[in-house]
Structure 1
Amino acid sequence: MSIGRRLMGGSVLRLVDFVLQVAIAFVMTPFIVGTLGVQKYGAWVVVGTLVGYYGLLDLGMSSAVTRFLSKAIGSEDRQAYSDTIRTALVVFASIGGSGLVLASVAIYCLPSSIRAIDESLPLILIILVSRLAIGFPIRALNAVLSAGLRHDLQSVASICRLLVGNVLILCLLGGGDGLLTLSVCVVLAWLTEYVLVTVFALWCASYPILSTGRFSRNVLREMASYCGKSFTTQILNMIRFRFDPILVGWLMGARWVTYFAVGRSLLNYFMQLVMNAVGLTKPLFSQYDGRGDRAAIKRQFRRLIRMNVAFVAFVGLSMAIFGEAFMVRWMGDGFRISYVVMLLMLPGYMIALMQTTAVNLMLGVSRHHYLIFNALVDGLVHILLALLLSRSLGLFGVPLAIGVSMVCVFLTMQPYFAAKVSGIPIRDYYMNCLLQPFLRVCAFSTVFWLVFRSLIQPTLPSLILLGALKVLLFSPYCLFVVLNRDEREALGRTAGSFFSSRHSEVTA
């Protein structure tokens, strides 16, 4: 299977996965909030935030395993491939077991103020943390799929988890202990995904996973050198993105966490959409790096970053246009405040996500130490501004702080680092890679809004028809106005390879 076909297939299935997530969330979020109540749903968000910190024990190893497996594939080093997997499995199993013991002790020592959230809280935390512990060795197998560009199989496993989890929630949530039942449903769904990932990894690994590999101290040292930087970035990002619900709950109470979380959830979906569509290229850059092909890295990066910018600009501006009507239709008129929360953060998210390909390049060629500077500066500015503005602006102070800090960092530091790693002159990067496609998409979206704004209503027919019309009109505009000839031809070759291969399989 060609690289282009793998990337196209992975992107298509990950987009299907994303659309299912959004569609199901459209139905399930009001159901869960209505069943649990605003107070308990806010508590669930806080619990999820606390449990999420367990992910820090990854130590950046997942990214390192994917990087070195991809490099081994590019250099056709079978022994390095097998040794990397065996070493990763041993390390992840050790991390998961040790983390479960430490987390159990921490849960036992929880202060009474946190236990007061729900009487079942200690058991809920143990259940959720146990799921994470089981999932650590699966990260090595997920890296096998990522390195082989088999994002399509990852998506199949994710879709099955999504369907199983939400069917269980629909059937069980209304009849039991709300938060405890919800946590059990979540864990059962994740176990389904873990089983599928294991089967897929054993089936399609580039080389045998367990038969020839051995635990290697040399491999561990190489991965430790790489993942030290990834881990630092991971910590900073986790603090940046998980600090805010806690701050809102601390200053204003759990009720306001719900409004903040709902507004941010749309941006989280935005981020997932971008990662699914254009965030699959890190293993590709690692394979080129394994072959020492710098010209291919520069050529592909220039194409991909411009497509990245066009896609993010289109989706982000669509969120600004349709967001308020969608929020009212989704959660009710009382959640207009969540649209404002989203809108304050949207510019920062757009500028950051436009450069997803740059992040993948840095990770793929082991220049990810630059990401530490981005995360550190953004995190410091973000937290200081949030503490300052939330006291005077209340709920709106936190999203405003997030938006301002992201704009400052990702409009200055990130372009400099991206240009340096890719070899593209900084002026060329700003003008041709970022600004040109962004302005052309802005022009289209502005005209669309001026013409159709009076028709945008908080109803499904209005949102679906106008959204479909915007996509329909933008597709030829993007191909012939936003993208250049080289990018159109590259996109056409990839699509042609994908669909011709599919046709051959069907007729065979």
Structure 2
Amino acid sequence: MVLVRRYVRNAGANVARVVASTLVALLLPPILIGALPRSSYNTWLLVLQLAAYVGYLELGVQSAMSRFIAHGAELDRIEDQSRAISSALFLMTAVAVVGMFASLGLAGAMPHLFADIPPDLHGDTRVAVFLVGVSVATGLPAAVLSGAYMGLRRYEVPAAILIVGKLIGAALVAAAALVTASMRLMAVSMTVANLATHAALWMVYERSRFRVPLGRSWISWPSVRAVLVHCASLQIWTLGTILVSGLDLTIVGIWDFQAVAYFAIAAVAVSFVGQLQGSVVAVLMPEAAALHARRAQEALGRMLIRFTRYGTLVLLAAGLPLFLGAELLLTLWVGADFADHASTLLRVLLVANTIRLVSLPYATMLVGVGEHGRVWLSPIVGGVINAAVSVAATMAYGAIGAALGTLSGGIVETGMHLAYNLPRTNALRVSPRQLLLGGMLRPALILTPLLPLLALAATRRLDLGAWWVTGGALFLGVCAAGYLAWRIVLEPEERTLVTRFLRSMRQIPLM
């Protein structure tokens, strides 16, 4: 029961972060679209994309700290925890300096990389990339502290700080756009918010009663080497992530600049679903590390199947409204022009990311048990196929080609996880067949009553205006899908737990 409470608390903290990100992503784009010329908005999106590349220098240290701290806590080795976090801070401080120089290089290269950026925006573009990139680089050491909190199962601490920082940053950027429409001032606003967030994380950690002791005396080269080895194996996954999701907008910016905003809006909408699933799955890493420390292989296998089932159910339940109502939702959010140009992009990206993310619990638990370095082939192969198809198809067909590249890469990567990686994972005693049937396909049964509506939506023939017909069909389909989720997807003990939770919520006084 303690494990369930801890899981709910930590998952709740992650969900709160997703809600904050969702609010920002919902409210900020319409403001910027209305305040900026389309060319300036497209350029701002590419500024954020290039600055985000600096964030990949994080090297996976946050997940590494989560594992090291959780593993040390399970074995009651405080000195090991202190050496790990102090050495990681030393390492990431050096990497942050590299990130600042990388920001300078990206700033100089941006106007040459995207030939369609108007010449009068080149100066502001360079300044914006440099400032935002530097603010991202200064956050690299702070990622160590976030990982430490995660390893201690105190997700709510970094979540609260990051939520406040994100909301303040969005408000400052929106104000700068509305008042001045200056990309340079928007970048300054974001930089100030990022730096303040990183500083707050440091100050709170120093005063926290949950903190692991740190300092220069704890830095040791064996610990630095251990962190580097762990992070080096994660870089295969990082490279795969860059190839899968980090290059698409850049590719669209190079070969179809006018479609940058459409593609970005579709990607943002789809990211809501991935973030929601990620908030549920992220808490697996320290729990997997703790079970691995006890050598509980059977329990790890059961955990993998269960949370793959949960994660897939979340992906489908959150993605169905987006798929069925893409045109209506986009019209209400950013206008009819985006609904006309971005709805197909949204649907293809949604299917692609759902296929790729069903294996996220497996990838997360691999890091927790320390076997992520043994399964490097699938992210590389999936990423290379994604990038190659995206470039070729975008050159031929425009932005939809990048979405098709994401789809092809997702199919390959998930297939390789099942056919190649899982049989080679020693710590997780589960067969590919068990994971496919019990974790992935079982939740997909909820789609069966909605298949006719999904087919109409995919061909843009679903008329939501005919509410008496479409609404009735949707109501019946959703009721049938809910019944399947309750009776077939969930286990009896899970239904009992949900029922008890709902009853307990009814007993909470409202005043």
Structure 2-normalised TM-score?
0.86
Residue 351 of structure 1: how far off its partner (Å): 1.6
| Secondary structure at the counterpart of residue 138 of structure 1 | helix
Is 2:351 aligned against 1:366?
no
1:92-133 CA-partner distances (Å, limit 9, x unpaired):
112212432454366467766769343223322232122123
Aligned to 2:150: 146
Give me the identity figure in percent.
18
Which deviates more from structure 2 when the two are superposed, residues 229-238 or residues 169-178? 169-178
Matched, 1:436 2:442: yes
Specify every segment of 5 or more residues in structure 1 that has no aligned partner in the other structure, as ranges: none
- 8 A contact 1:82–1:212 mirrored in 2: no
Cα deviations by residue, 1:396-418 (Å, 9 ceiling, x for unpaired):
22211211221232134346424
How far the C-alpha of 1:78 sits from its partner, in A, is 0.9
Partner of 1:64 in structure 2?
Answer: 64
Question: CA shift at 1:426, angstroms?
Answer: 2.0
CA offset at residue 79 of structure 1? 0.7
1:456 equivalent in alignment to 2:456: no
1:388 Cα offset (Å)? 2.4
Question: Is 2:13 aligned against 1:16?
Answer: no
Q: How far apart, in 1, do the equivalents of 2:127 and 2:134 lie?
A: 11
Q: Which residue in the other structure is 2:81 paired with?
A: 81
Deviation digits for residues 324-343 of structure 1, max 9, x if unmatched? 21112212111122111111
Q: Closer, same or farther in 2 for the Cα pair 1:206/1:290, shift >3 Å?
A: farther
Higher relative contact order (CA 8 A, sep 6+): 1
Given candidates 312, 323, 338, the residue that maps to 1:309 is 312
Q: What CA distance in whole angstroms lies between the structure 1 residues aligned with 2:28 and 2:385?
A: 35
Checking the alignment, whether the CA contact within 8 Å between 1:82 and 1:214 is kept in structure 2 is yes
Indicate yes or no: 2:280 matched with 1:277. yes
Q: Does 1:427 align with 2:433?
A: yes
> Do the aligned partners of 1:54 and 1:129 also contact (CA within 8 Å) in 2?
yes
- Change over 3 Å in CA distance of 1:212–1:195 after alignment to 2: closer
Q: Which among 396, 399, 411 is matched to residue 392 of structure 1?
A: 396
| 2:200 is aligned with 1:161 | no
Give the one of 137, 141, 163 matched to 1:133: 137
Task: Please state how far the C-alpha of 1:456 moved relative to its aligned partner.
Answer: 3.4
Q: Match for 1:95: what amino acid?
A: V
Q: Is 1:327 aligned to 2:330, yes or no? A: yes
Question: What is the aligned partner in structure 2 of residue 51 from structure 1?
Answer: 51
1:263 maps to: 266
Deviation sequence 1:348-400 (CA, Å, 0-9, x none): 21122222211111111111125532221112211221232223322222211
Contact 2:245 2:406 in 1 (8 A): no
In 2: Cα distance, 1:211 partner to 1:170 partner: 39
Q: Is the 8 A contact 2:324 2:453 kept in 1?
A: no
The secondary structure found in structure 2 opposite 1:119 is helix
1:229 and 1:342 map into 2 onto residues whose CA distance is: 32
Equivalent residues in 2 for 1:1-12 (5 A)? 2-12=2-12
Q: 1:298 aligns with which of 292, 296, 301?
A: 301
| Cα deviation, residue 289, structure 1 | 1.4
1:173 aligns with 2:165: no
SS of match in other structure, 1:120:
helix
1:314/1:445 contact within 8 Å kept: no
Runs (5+) with no aligned partner, structure 2: none
**1:215 and 2:219 correspond:** yes
Distance 1:472 1:201 in 2: 47
Residue 73 of structure 1 deviates from its aligned partner by 1.4
Q: In the TM superposition, what is the alpha-carbon distance from 1:465 to its structure 2 partner?
A: 13
**1:409 maps to 2:416:** no
**2:201 corresponds to 1:194:** no
Once residues 363 and 467 of structure 1 are traced to their aligned partners in structure 2, the CA distance between those partners, rounded to angstroms, is 40
Q: Indicate whether 1:28 and 2:28 are aligned.
A: yes
2:492 maps to 1:485: yes
Q: Check the 8 A contact 1:328/1:458 in 2, yes or no.
A: no
